[in-house]
Amino acid sequence: MGIASDLPGDFTPSRYDVIVVGAGYAGAVCARMLAEGCNYRVAVLEKRGHIAGNAYDYEDEAGILVHKYGPHIYHTTDERVHQFLSRFTDFTDYQHKVLANVHGTLMPVPFNHQSLKLAFGEEKGERLYQKLVQAFGENRRVPILELRGRNDPELSEVADYVYENVFLHYTMKQWGKTPDQIDPAVMGRVPVFVGDDDRYFPQVPHQGMPDKGYTDLFEQMLNHDLIDVFLNCDARDLLVVEGTSVKVCDRPYGGEIIYTGALDELFHMDLGALPYRTLDMQFETLDQDQFQPVGTVNYTVSEDFTRITEFKNMTGQVVPGKTTIMREYSKPYEPGSGQTPYYVINEPDNIALYQKYRDRVANVLNFHVVGRLAEYRYYDMDGVVASALALSNEIINHR
């Protein structure tokens, strides 16, 4: 029905069939699906002062649309996700491009045909490229760790160059560890690309930006007669898990709960805190039209920050004489410090701790966990939407 800036004194949980904790993708998708699919009345509780979770965007003082929690670029190969989100927004045809600054030379990431020529010179670069094509085929994504495993002197030369100049230092800054020490799936997100496609998400059919921004997309998704959103409301102040049931506002709650926050926080970290990496994001508005040639430049061999994003390059917004950029500095997350837990650290000990929290809610009646925090997963937006659609369909079918 609307978005309220806080929870009213007369909030009555029993008026709602569903309580959703969190107004990011996970929560908003479930709220919309259950309102439409079951005619459920839904209360969405959000502890921040805004909707859209980490995808939130807003106009800064210079009138430039910026992403408060880091650059978000929509991309998916999942048709159902694309169809669902396209009900609430049109997408621009923005194709994200990233350049690595390697000792002053800007070369495409994922490292591709053109990067090879920039790194090794026209002739040798072409020879090495043909070698890669022979080894892997054209238009293939090759994880750096796989390339490093090949026992061929020329392929090793490419692998060593890319490892040292694209992955090693950036990964050390981002994770405090070398590429071999972290989850291979994280490294696999950014492969070497054997081809000419110079987009960050090569060969991904749907990519772009919501044409009026992410916050607007969420406003449309949450705009439904049966959905009430309450901002500045930390669900942990209302909701207590006791054995296999849940109390909300000190009374047993019989409806569905969709929980998209961190599970360790729900239990006041009594088994220990789940580790994350957080980011310091430093925004700067400059008196110039444009700062860099593409949306994001990764600083892969120098600087303390990992990357600089220039928002106008991604949104296509025209604001003459001004541009806003943002530098990202990664560091360990300190629980209880007010920092945002951005990146899960996918290591066996952490997964084991997460599983202990997860076991505690496994038998709680009508209690569902979904999203990057609640599932402790490194999710892109489309992955979270897919997970929330699957959960919602399960609830709808079960009804």
According to the binding rule CB under 6 A, does residue 100 interact with ligand UDP? yes
In whole angstroms, what is the distance from residue 115 CA to residue 100 CA? 9
In the beta sheet, which residues pair with residue 283?
326
How many residues of this chain bind ligand UDP (CB under 6 A)? 14
The number of residues making up the chain comes to 399
The listed partner (ligand UDP, ligand FAD, none) that binds 310, CB under 5 to 8 Å by sort, is: none
**Measured from the CB of residue 58, what is the shortest distance to ligand UDP in angstroms?**
20
Cβ-based nearer residue to ligand UDP, 217 or 279? 279
Which span sits near ligand UDP by CB under 6 A: 45-53, 184-192, 222-230, 313-321?
A: 184-192
In whole angstroms, what is the distance from residue 20 CA to residue 30 CA? 8
**Measured from the CB of residue 370, what is the shortest distance to ligand FAD in angstroms?**
7
According to the binding rule CB under 6 A, does residue 353 interact with ligand UDP? no
According to the binding rule CB under 6 A, does residue 174 interact with ligand UDP? yes
Query: Cβ of 301: how many Cβ atoms within 10 Å?
Result: 16
CB of 108 closer than 8 Å to CB of 102: no
The listed partner (ligand FAD, ligand UDP, none) that binds 186, CB under 5 to 8 Å by sort, is: ligand UDP
Cβ-based nearer residue to ligand FAD, 70 or 143? 70
Torsion angle in degrees (nearest 10) through CA of 268, 381, 62, 283: 60
CB of 228 closer than 8 Å to CB of 4: yes
In whole angstroms, what is the distance from residue 226 CA to residue 230 CA? 13
The listed partner (ligand UDP, ligand FAD, none) that binds 372, CB under 5 to 8 Å by sort, is: ligand FAD
In whole angstroms, what is the distance from residue 157 CA to residue 335 CA? 42
- In the DSSP assignment, the letter for residue 290 is -
- How far CA 244 is from CA of 103, 211, 234, 398, in Å, comes to 57, 44, 22, 19
According to the binding rule CB under 6 A, does residue 166 interact with ligand UDP? yes
The listed partner (ligand FAD, ligand UDP, none) that binds 330, CB under 5 to 8 Å by sort, is: none
In whole angstroms, what is the distance from residue 35 CA to residue 225 CA? 8
The listed partner (ligand FAD, ligand UDP, none) that binds 109, CB under 5 to 8 Å by sort, is: ligand UDP
**Measured from the CB of residue 230, what is the shortest distance to ligand UDP in angstroms?**
30
According to the binding rule CB under 6 A, does residue 190 interact with ligand UDP? yes
Cβ-based nearer residue to ligand UDP, 88 or 175? 175
- How far CA 83 is from CA of 74, 208, 369, in Å, comes to 13, 14, 24
In whole angstroms, what is the distance from residue 34 CA to residue 395 CA? 8
Q: Which of 38, 51, 155, 187 binds ligand UDP (CB under 6 A)?
A: 187
According to the binding rule CB under 6 A, does residue 298 interact with ligand UDP? yes
According to the binding rule CB under 6 A, does residue 300 interact with ligand UDP? yes
Give the footprint of ligand UDP on this chain (CB under 6 A): 100, 109, 166-167, 170-171, 174-175, 186-187, 189-190, 298, 300
